[in-house]
A and B are shown apart, each in its own frame.
Chain A
Amino acid sequence: MKHLLQYCLFVLSAVVAMPSYAADPISVKVGILRVERERPLPLSRLDLPPDDLGFAGATLGENDNNTTGRFLGQVYETITETAPPEEAAAAMDAMIDGGVGFIVMMGNAGDVIDLSDHAAGRDVLLLNAQAEDNMLRTDECRANLLHVASSRAMMADGLAQFLMWKRWRKWLLIVGSHPEDEAWAEALRRAASRFGGKIVEERVFKDTGGARRTDTGHVQVQKQIPVFTQRAKKHDVVIAADESDVFAGYLPYHTWDARPVAGSAGLRPVGWHPGNEAWGATQFQRRFEKIANRRVRTLDFQVWLALRVIGEGVTRTSSADPKAVRDYVLGSDFELGIFKGTKVNFRPWNQQLRSPVLLANDRMIVSVSPQKEYLHQVSQLDTLGYDEPESRCSLN
């Protein structure tokens, strides 16, 4: 009995000694919703998606928020769910009914719009961690929806600024035959006209289906791609618009003319890269690798980023109320470090997170846009993507 008492006292003193605010800890429940679809296999087996894609980023975000929360009496809990498109709304309802105030969404533009409309009027803040579609930032904005994923326009502009810096003005644009390829191509065309690139010729690479990977497939590729790219008008760089991952990976070293490749292969604008070591990114990479036993994918980074936006909002407002957090993070006091060299915040008119764009090859960072020569009256980051006068959204 005496021992038990001593033990209880020990436990009690241990609890008291914790650097926490024992009175009324703030509980923050965050839902992570991944809308699942069948996708064709990637061209390279290195790109096979891990089962915990995005969710591993959530685990790290929860850990990071709780490490900070420990000093402030805040406890973060993450609830993860995977659902096919037709069941996503029900999954979201269950989360909200369970007390979730913030939901990070991984899905396409259609999912994001449907789910945002479905949640309208409910006390929940949504964060888009995946869909890059420009229309979500120009026409189909939603007050309850923040975008932490960069848009296609931001990516294309980041790439274009670098190509202009290199004086690679003449572009051969090769576009895939799927709608998302065309959407990416459209962002690249817009970037060309904004920054002075000239698309000397466009070609469409048609997806004829069939197996994505075959034994010794490179034998045919080595003959097909030179033929496909021959007799192009004089160009400095080949740009691939291939979000569907049908052909871009085949272009480097196989083009008829010896030209660098950019866009969906070669030099790619990316939201994250596992080779990024600048601005303290090494620590982020290592923290993630320790818990996930693999490298960080862009989607993991963006889910982590969404959780950090929420965490920073809760930390600075001492509130888990979605409305209070929304008001704070959209305000001028909000700022966040994201291992890309500059602080980021939201564009109030379309609720897009401003962000630098990493330009990377397969192994390392090549450059980071905005390039310093491109200036802007508000924020240099607004040289990337749709600026306020170009967007029909006016949520501010």
Chain B
Amino acid sequence: MRASVAVFTALLTTLSCLAPAAHAFTIYVTNERGNTVTIIDSETLEVTGTIDAGARPRGITISPDGSELYVCASDDDTVNVFDTKTMKRKHTLPSGPDPELFVLHPSGNPLYIANEDDNIVTVVDVKTRKVLAEIPVGVEPEGMGVSPDGKIVVNTSETTNMAHFINTETFDIDTNVLVDQRPRFAQFTDDGKLLYVSAEIGGTVSVIDPTKGEIIKKIEFAVPGILPEALQPVGVRVTEDSKKVFVALGPANRVALVNGETFEVEKYLLVGQRVWQLAFSPDQKFLYTTNGNSNDISVIDVEKEKVIKSIPVGEQPWGVAVSPE
């Protein structure tokens, strides 16, 4: 009997190795109120598991090789690191108090964490789990973006209303760009030529030329029947070719699709309520949105520019990360 189980297991293992893996990836969603991470299979778009993720999980990201999942446990003042194979917690990283958002260097190390309480960005080595630097920034640091070459990390400070450009070698700030009220998120294009910074309360997205440190365009939003105050841009993602920019508009329950060349808004896609953060599938065919007030995520077909499905997750979904292929 025991032998047959072993054979069966071996067979299963072989089968799963042989199975086509081209599009198999996993979507991870933090549920801020549920204190969990929901795990979703990309093929079936079904929830395959839910794990405890610590107190008030928000920011979430994954290592470039897909082996480690990093989750900000804001109320535990720590970053939890999960082994994506077992989904067991491996260890924690020192984060400083109330970590909310972070960004991983393109090489997979280090991790740059915004600490809202202390007006600093903490740089943590994910291997040695040591703090490499603490960089003083503006009041209430929040959004974190990294240039594709890894040379610049951009932090946004919500009360100072700036994007701070941090040199990742010297940890000095070499440029500050004033943007609109309450900047939430910073996203470079894959060619590094543009930086998008969303301002939640200002209701705009600033398009910044990173080499000059200047704003070249401010994107504004308008949806008939929606109060202008409800158009609050938060998460931003840009396709590889820099042509399509997706902006989550919070309580307006819409994702704006912006032309990455003209910076005009082309479309508003109706998603769930209080849409917050966004993540692409590795092939960029799909975009996933977390909808905090309707407890679900929406799946957007990037090419067709349509919302194709919504998937119920835990309570108050906040962040989303997708494993590499």
- Interface residues, chain A, with chain B CB atoms under 8 Å away: 17, 19, 64, 67-68, 70-72, 280, 282-284, 286-287, 290, 308, 312, 315-316, 335-337, 342-343, 372, 375, 380
The reply to whether B180 and A280 contact each other, CB–CB distance below 8 Å, is: no
Given the known inter-chain contacts A67-B138, A68-B138, A343-B201, please indicate yes or no for A282 contacting B160, CB distance below 8 A.
Answer: no
Q: What B residues does A283 contact at CB under 8 A?
A: 98, 116-117, 140, 158
State which of B159, B164, B180, B201 has its C-beta within 8 Å of the C-beta of A71.
B164
Contact B229 A316 (CB under 8 A): no
Contact B159 A337 (CB under 8 A): yes
Shortest Cβ distance from A286 into B: residue: B117
Mark each residue of chain B from 178 to 206: 1 if its CB lies under 8 Å from any CB of chain A, else 0: 10111000000000000000001111000
> In the bound complex, do residue A19 and residue B176 qualify as a contact, i.e. CB atoms below 8 Å apart?
yes
Query: What are 15 A-B interface contacts by the 8 Å CB criterion?
Result: A19-B172, A19-B173, A67-B138, A68-B139, A71-B176, A284-B159, A290-B117, A308-B159, A335-B201, A336-B181, A337-B159, A337-B200, A342-B229, A343-B201, A343-B203
Within 8 A of A (CB), among B126-153: 136, 138-140, 142
Which of A72, A280, A284, A308 gathers the greatest number of chain B CB atoms within 10 Å?
A280
B275 within 8 A of A: no
| 8 closest A-B pairs by CB | A337-B201, A68-B160, A337-B181, A337-B182, A71-B176, A342-B229, A283-B116, A343-B201
Check B21 for interface membership: any CB of A closer than 8 A.
no
Contacts of A68 in B (CB 8 A): 138-139, 157, 159-162
Interface residues on B, range: 20 to 34
Interface SS of A by simple majority: helix
Answer whether residue B227 sits at the interface, using C-beta atoms and an 8 A cutoff: yes
Given contacts A19-B172, A343-B203, A380-B229, contact A67 B182 (CB under 8 A): no
Specify which of A17, A336, A337 lies most central, judged by the most chain B CB atoms within 10 Å of its CB. A337
- The residue of chain B having its C-beta at the shortest distance from the C-beta of A376 within the complex is B227
Would A335 and B180 count as touching, CB distance under 8 A? yes
Return the chain B residue nearest A64 by Cβ. B139
Q: Compute how far the CA of A71 lies from the CA of B139 in the bound complex, rounded to whole angstroms.
A: 11
**With A and B bound together, what is the CA distance between A274 and B136 in angstroms?**
27
Known: A67-B119, A280-B158, A287-B139. 7 other contacts (CB 8 A): A67-B160, A71-B176, A72-B176, A280-B140, A280-B182, A335-B201, A380-B229
With A71-B160, A280-B140 already in contact, the answer to whether A316 and B180 are too (CB < 8 A) is no
Q: Is the CB of A372 within 8 A of B227?
A: yes
Indicate if the CB atoms of B117 and A335 lie closer than 8 Å: no
Chain B residues with Cβ below 8 Å from A67 are: 119, 138-139, 160
How far in angstroms is the closest Cβ of chain A from B183?
10
Q: How far is the CA of A280 from the CA of B158 in the complex (A)?
A: 9
Chain A hits for B229, CB < 8 A: 342-343, 380
List, in ascending order, chain B residues with CB within 8 A of A372's CB.
227
Contacts of B162 in A (CB 8 A): 68, 71
Q: How many Å lie between the Cα of A315 and that of B158 in the bound state?
A: 14
Roughly how many angstroms separate A83 CA and B140 CA in the complex, as a whole number?
Answer: 34
- Report B-chain residues with C-beta under 8 Å of the C-beta of A316: 178
* Cα distance A19–B213 in the bound complex, in angstroms: 15
Q: Which residues of A contact B138 (CB under 8 A)?
A: 67-68, 71
Alpha-carbon distance between A343 and B201 when the two chains are bound, in angstroms: 5
State the Cβ distance, A70 to closest chain B Cβ, in Å: 8
Residues of B within 8 A of A308 (CB): 159
* Bound CA span A23–B116, Å: 30
A217, B201: Cα distance in complex, Å = 47
| A residues in contact with B159, CB < 8 Å | 64, 68, 284, 308, 337
In whole angstroms, how far apart are the Cα atoms of A71 and B135 in the complex? 13
Q: Are A282 and B176 in contact (CB under 8 A)?
A: no
B202 touching A335, Cβ below 8 Å: yes
CB distance from A382 to the nearest CB of B (A): 12
- Which residues of chain A come closer than 8 Å to B119, judged between CB atoms? 67
Smallest CB separation, B217 vs chain A (Å): 17
Chain B nearest CB, measured from A121 CB (Å): 33
Instruction: Give the CA-CA distance A372 to B252 in the complex, in Å.
Output: 13
Which B residues touch A280, using CB under 8 A? 116, 140, 142, 158, 182
Residues of A close to B181: CB separation below 8 A: 335-337, 343
Q: How far is the CB of A202 from chain B (nearest CB, A)?
A: 36
- A337–B160 touching, CB < 8 Å: no
- Report chain B residues within 8 Å CB of A290: 117
Nearest chain B CB to A276 CB, angstrom units: 15
CB distance from B115 to the nearest CB of A (A): 10
Question: Measured between alpha carbons, how far is A343 from B199 in the docked complex, in Å?
Answer: 11
What's the nearest-Cβ distance from chain A to residue B133, in Å?
Answer: 14
Residues of A within 8 A of B203 (CB): 343
Which one of A71, A287, A312 has the highest number of Cβ atoms from chain B below 10 Å of its Cβ? A71
Taking CB atoms, residues of chain A closer than 8 Å to B157 are 68
A-side contacts of B173, CB under 8 Å: 19, 71
For the complex, what is the distance from the CA of A70 to the CA of B200, rounded to whole Å? Answer: 24
CB distance from A61 to the nearest CB of B (A): 11
Q: For the complex, what is the distance from the CA of A64 to the CA of B140, rounded to whole Å?
A: 9
How far is the CB of B41 from the nearest CB of chain A, in Å?
A: 34
CA of A341 to CA of B175 in the docked complex: distance in angstroms?
Answer: 29
Complexed CA–CA distance, A265 and B36 (Å): 38
A343 and B176 in contact, given A283-B117, A380-B229 (Cβ under 8 angstroms):
no
Q: Is the CB of A17 within 8 A of B172?
A: yes
Q: Nearest-CB distance from A285 to chain B (Å)?
A: 10
